[in-house]
Amino acid sequence: MKKRLPYVIWLILLIAVEVVIALTQHDNWLRYYGGDVIVVWAVYCLVQSFLGGKNNHYIVHLGVLFFAFLVEFLQLINIVELIGLGDIEFFRVLIGTSFALEDMFSYAAGTAIGCAGTFIYNKIKLRNH
């Protein structure tokens, strides 16, 4: 649990940031692009909270990016309607209903920032040991 706790704390903080963005930012770049950058960090923290940070961090980052791309492509084929959940607002928000290539660039940017953060953290950790 000791190794999982930082990921859980970061996940809660990132979700709080996402909620604040969703509630306060309308029709601007932070809502459309910043939220997508942050969401890959939140999903990364969710995954690591289950894995306990034991796996290769770069592989987990790339797995999250693949998942984000998959969800975006599912939006392209209108998966919410295809599986019969189009009338339920929760699923429309959770899965999304519109494909945007810009979102994929935001996910990639978030992943790149996450990988850079992992690299810097590892360098600092090595220097201190």
User: Which of 58, 57, 43, 53 has the alpha carbon at shortest distance from 11?
Assistant: 43
Task: Express each pLDDT in 48-81 by its tens digit.
Answer: 999 988 889 999 999 999 999 999 999 999 999 9
pLDDT at 96 over 80: yes
Task: Enter the tokens of residue 115.
Answer: 């990988």
Cα 59 to the chain's mean position, in Å?
Answer: 14
* CB contact at 8 A, 79 and 95: yes
98 HSE (CA, 13 A, CB side) = 3
> What does the pLDDT read at residue 106?
97
